[in-house]
Structure 1
Amino acid sequence: MLTTARAGAALATTALATAALLAGTAAPALADTPSASPSPVAAPAEVYGKGDPTYDGVWRQSLALTALAATGVVPADAAVNWLTGQQCADGGWPSFRADTSSAAATTGACDPKAEDTNATAMAVQALSKLDGHQNSVSRGVEWLKKVQNADGSWAYNPGNPGDANSTGLAVSALLTVGTDPATVAKDGKTAYDGLALFQLGCAAPVGERGAFGYQPLPDGSLAPNGLASAQAALAAAGGKLPVTNTNRADAAPKPLDCSTTTSGPVPRAASAEAVSAHLVAQLAANGQHLMLNTPGAAPTPDYNATAWAALSLIQAGHPTEAAGAADWLAGNGYAWAAKGASGTDASAAAILVLTAQASGRDPLNYGGSNILQLLIDAGPAPKSVPPAASAAASEYPKGTKAPGSSITEADDNGGFSPFWLIGVGLLIGIGGGLLLSLQRKRGAHAPGGGKPAAEPAEKAMEKPAAEPSSEPAAKDRPDTDEGDGQK
C-alpha cells in the first residue's frame, strides 16, 4: 500500500499528462514517479512511521529528524545511521533502497536516474542539524549542484524538466549550508533564476499573481498550485527547515506591483512578498487553510500545503498572517497526522511539530494533543528528550503527555480536549453566578425595594470583563519561525 505521500505521487504522473498537478495531502508534488512496487515493503524498525517506505522513506525520516532536532530531542543513533546509510556513493539520496550493502551499490541499487532531489535536499537539512555528518551533507550539496538543470531549476529525478517544489527544496538545502543560491548556476542561470520560472507575474489574472505553478502547462502557461506556492515561498523568502527567522514585518505582505509592467518574470526582490500576499488571500478565502483540487474530485482541505504556507509566511516576516493557519492546523491536524492507513503519518506529524514550534505554539500541547510525542512514538526510542514545559505530566490537558511517556490519543473533535470545553463552561457558570450575586447585593441596599437598576443577567453574560486573547502568552511564544509534508 502506498503512503499518503506517495499515493499522491502516483496520481501526479497521470496529472502531468493532462498538465494538472496532483499531490497527496502529506507530500510535495512529484514529477517523475517510479512505478508502484509489486508488493508493500515493510518499514525498517529504524524508520519513523509504519507505512511502505518505497516512495518516501528518506523524505519522512529526514523530516522527522529535523522536527525532533528543532525541539531538542536527540534521536536514536539507529534512526540517524539508517538515513546516512541510504546515501549513494555519488552523494545523492534515492527515495528509498532496501539493499544498502556495498555489493548492491555496484549493481544498480543506486541508479542515478532514480535518485531524488527532494529526498536529498531534506536529508541535507536534517543531517546539518545533527553533529558529525558534515561529510554526508557536503556530498549531498555537491550532488545537487551537479544535477541542476541548464535553466537553473531542479527536477524530482535528474534529467527531467524542473518543477517549483524540487527547485524550492534544493534552494533551501543550499541555504542550509550557507551557500548563496545566486552563486549556484548552470549555463549562466542561477538557482533563483530557476525558481522564477514557476512564479506567475503581471501577465496573470490579479488573483493569481505571485503564486507558483508546479510546472508549465503544454501551452507554456502556469496554473497556480497551493503546495507549489507554499513550498517555493520558503525558498523565495530565504528559508530552510526548521524555520527560525525572527524578522517581523508590521504590515501585511505586498502584492505584486504591476503598475509599470505587464510581463516578464517576478523580480527576485519582490518574489517572497508577492507569493506571501497570494497565500494570505488564499488562506482567508478558505477559512485559514489551503485546498487540494484534484480533477474529478471535490476540493478537500490540504493540511500539508497549509503547514508549508504558515512556515513560509513566518519566514517572510509575517507571523501574524500565519497565525490563523497555525491555529487551524492545531484544531484539525491531529487526525491527519495520527490516523493514516498505517497509523501515524510521520511526515504529517513532523510538519505539525515544525509549524507549532515556528509559530510560537507548544508542540507538547498543540490543539490539545502532544504532537511531539506522537512523532517520537512513531520511531525508535530517542537517546534523550528535553525537560517538559512543566515538570508534572498531570498538568498537560487530556490527550497529552510529557516527552518520554506514551501518548494518549485525543478525542475525535479536531484535537481540542472536551475537558477544555467543560472548564470554559464552568468558568462561565461561576462568572455568571458572581454577577448575579453582586447584582442582588447592590439591590439589597438600593432604594426601590431591593430591585437594582441593572441589566438582566443574560445581558450581563454577553459582556465578559475581558476578551480572551487568541495570541499565546508571552512565555509560550519563542522567537522562532518555520516544514515538506510529503513530499
Structure 2
Amino acid sequence: MTTVRRSAVALTASAVLGMAIASAAAPSAIAAPSPTPPPKAALPSGLYGTGDPTYDGVWRQSLALLAQDTAGVKPAAKAVDWLKAQQCDGGGFSSYRADATKACDAKVSLDSNASAAAVQALAALGGQDAAVDKTVAWLKSVQNEDGGWGYNPGGASDANSTSIVIGALAAAGEKPGELKSKGGKTPYDSLLTFAKPCGGKDGGVFVFQEKVPGIVADSTAAAVLGAHGKGLVVTAGAADPKGTACEKATTIEGAAHNGAAYLATALAKTGHLVTPPMPGAEDPTEKPDYGNTADAVVALSAQGLPDQAKKPLAWLQKHSQAWAKEQGPAAYAQLILAAHAAGADPRSFGGADLVVGLNATGPAPESTPDPTKDKPAEKDSSDEDSGSGAGVWWIVGAFFAASVGAGFLFSGRKKNQQK
C-alpha cells in the first residue's frame, strides 16, 4: 500500500521469464512484457531514482509525489509533467514508456497498478482533474465481471490490484462500493473472495489469488486498505474493539479485521516481517522485509490498531535507513507514508530525515517546509529489539508464474523500487 506495491529484484519462479519486477508496498500480475529501454539510456530529468524504470517508473514516481505532498513538499513541475506525460490517450498508464512522445499502441502493456497509483498522486496534488478523470474512466472500463481488477486488462482479478484501484477511485471522489461490473459485482465482492478463514498458519489473510497465494503479508496489507476504501495515504482509523482475535467473517469489514489481526500477530515477536529465501539461493536464511513491514504499519493504523503498529514502526526507525538509501524513492516514500499513518515525524525517523532523502532522489522541489517550524512531536519509538543493523533488502515479494490466458500472473505489484 500500497503495496505497496513496491527495492531489490523479485525473481520469477520460472527461469524462462528471468526478469526483475515489483513486489510493496507493491504488487500483482503481468500478462505481457513492457517495452524495455536501452540498458544505458539516459533517464528523464523529471524522473525520481536512477535505476532501470522499466517495471516501476510510474509506480515510484507516483509514490514519491504522494509522499512529498504528505510531507508538505511541493514537487518540481517537471516531475509532475513527467508523470502526466506517461498517460496514454485512452487514460491508462503502463509501468514505463521510454518515449512518451509516441502514441500508445497495442504493444504498450497497460498496468492497472501504475494507473491507480498515478491517479492517487495526481488527485492529491490537485489541478489535474482532466488526467485523473480520464484514468478513472479507463479503470472502470477494464473492471472484471467479478468486480475486481488484474494487473493488466483482461487478467484475472487479484487482491493487490483490486485494492489499489479501490484506493484510486476513492481518491478521485468516486464511491467504490457503488461501482458494479457487468456481472453485477462490486470491488468489495471481489476483494472478499481473497480472504481466507481463520485457522492454520495463514488464517485470516488475503491471498494474491486463490491458486497463486503470493507473499500473503503483501496482499493482506494492501487488502486491509482496500477494504476500508483507503488509498496509499491514510491516517489512523477508529479504534478496532476486537483487538487481534481472528473471527468468522462474512463481510469485507470482518475480513479486514482478520487481515490486520494476522499482520499484528506476525509482527508481535520481532517487529518486522521476513522474506523466505528463493529456491536455490546460496543463503538459506530469511531476510527482513522492510517494505511489507512499512505497509503493515499503514494497514494497522488504518484498521485502528495503533498499539500493534508501534513495534514495527520502532523497528523501521531503527533499521530501515540503509535499505531506503539503497532502494531509492519508493522505499523512502513507503517509510514516509508509514510515519504519516502512525503519527510519527518523517523528518526525524530514527535520526534520519526521510523527506530530505526522498527529495535528493529526484528534481529539486519547488518548495519545502522549514523543518524547524511547527515540527510535530515525535512518538515514542523505543524498541526492545536489539537485532542486527539494517542491510539491503534483497527481496520484498516474489513472482509466481501461472498460465492464465495469454500470459502469466505474478505476485509483487509494487516493490521493484529502484535507486
TM tier, shorter chain?
Answer: 0.7 to 0.9
- More helix by proportion, 1 or 2? 1
Aligned counterpart, 2:260: 276
Aligned counterpart, 1:467: none
The yes-or-no answer on 1:367 pairing with 2:350 is: yes
1:16 Cα deviation from its structure 2 partner: 12
- Out of 218, 230, 242, which is 2:221 matched to? 230
SS at match of 1:128: helix
The yes-or-no answer on 1:116 pairing with 2:111 is: yes
SS at match of 2:14: helix
CA distance in 1, matches of 2:12, 2:169: 26
Aligned counterpart, 2:50: 50
- Out of 320, 332, 337, which is 1:349 matched to? 332
Paired residue type of 1:49: G
SS at match of 1:301: strand
Describe how 1:53-72 pairs up with structure 2 within 5 A: 53-72=53-72
CA distance in 2, matches of 1:142, 1:251: 38
- Out of 132, 145, 152, which is 1:157 matched to? 152
Aligned counterpart, 1:177: 172
Q: Residues 295 and 29 (structure 1 numbering): CA distance in 2 closer, same or farther, change over 3 Å?
A: farther
Q: Deviations over 1:348-405 (max 9, x none)?
A: 011111111221211111011111100001110111001213599xxx9xxxxxxxxx
Aligned counterpart, 1:261: none
Paired residue type of 2:345: D
Q: Residues 356 and 235 (structure 1 numbering): CA distance in 2 closer, same or farther, change over 3 Å?
A: same
Aligned counterpart, 1:305: 292
Q: Residues 26 and 294 (structure 1 numbering): CA distance in 2 closer, same or farther, change over 3 Å?
A: farther
Q: Contact (CA 8 Å) 2:268, 2:308: kept in 1 or not? A: no
Q: Residues 74 and 183 (structure 1 numbering): CA distance in 2 closer, same or farther, change over 3 Å?
A: same
Q: Deviations over 1:1-45 (max 9, x none)?
A: xxx958645x3463999xxxx964664244436268374244311
Q: Contact (CA 8 Å) 1:128, 1:134: kept in 2 or not? A: yes
CA distance in 1, matches of 2:159, 2:13: 16
The yes-or-no answer on 1:199 pairing with 2:183 is: no
CA distance in 1, matches of 2:222, 2:369: 29
Q: Contact (CA 8 Å) 1:200, 1:224: kept in 2 or not? A: no
Paired residue type of 1:291: V
Q: Contact (CA 8 Å) 1:63, 1:350: kept in 2 or not? A: yes
Q: Deviations over 1:250-290 (max 9, x none)?
A: 652441237xxxxxxx42231211101111111124x1111
Aligned counterpart, 1:330: 317
Aligned counterpart, 1:377: 360
The normalised TM-score by structure 2 is 0.81
CA distance in 1, matches of 2:210, 2:214: 8
CA distance in 2, matches of 1:6, 1:369: 19
Q: Residues 14 and 362 (structure 1 numbering): CA distance in 2 closer, same or farther, change over 3 Å?
A: same
The yes-or-no answer on 1:96 pairing with 2:91 is: no
Aligned counterpart, 1:139: 134
1:55 Cα deviation from its structure 2 partner: 0.9
Paired residue type of 2:60: R
Paired residue type of 1:365: S
Q: Residues 170 and 357 (structure 1 numbering): CA distance in 2 closer, same or farther, change over 3 Å?
A: same
SS at match of 2:288: strand
Higher relative contact order, structure no. (Cα contacts within 8 Å, ≥ 6 residues apart):
2
CA distance in 2, matches of 1:112, 1:235: 30
1:131 Cα deviation from its structure 2 partner: 2.2
Q: Deviations over 1:49-100 (max 9, x none)?
A: 1111111110000000000000100001000000011101011111111212
Aligned counterpart, 1:478: none
1:230 Cα deviation from its structure 2 partner: 1.2
Describe how 1:406-425 pairs up with structure 2 within 5 A: 414=390
CA distance in 2, matches of 1:98, 1:29: 22
CA distance in 2, matches of 1:15, 1:149: 30
1:169 Cα deviation from its structure 2 partner: 0.6
The yes-or-no answer on 1:386 pairing with 2:369 is: yes
Q: Residues 43 and 26 (structure 1 numbering): CA distance in 2 closer, same or farther, change over 3 Å?
A: farther
Aligned counterpart, 1:423: none
1:112 Cα deviation from its structure 2 partner: 7.3
CA distance in 2, matches of 1:154, 1:16: 26
- Kindly name which structure, 1 or 2, has the bigger radius of gyration based on alpha carbons: 1
SS at match of 2:344: coil
- Out of 209, 212, 221, which is 1:215 matched to? 209
Q: Contact (CA 8 Å) 1:6, 1:486: kept in 2 or not? A: yes
Q: Residues 360 and 16 (structure 1 numbering): CA distance in 2 closer, same or farther, change over 3 Å?
A: farther
CA distance in 2, matches of 1:306, 1:151: 30
RMSD: 2.9
1:212 Cα deviation from its structure 2 partner: 1.2
Paired residue type of 1:320: D
CA distance in 2, matches of 1:294, 1:180: 40
Q: Contact (CA 8 Å) 2:272, 2:315: kept in 1 or not? A: yes
Q: Percent identity?
A: 39
Q: Deviations over 1:80-124 (max 9, x none)?
A: 0000111010111111112122xx21xxx3437601000001000
Q: Contact (CA 8 Å) 1:237, 1:312: kept in 2 or not? A: no
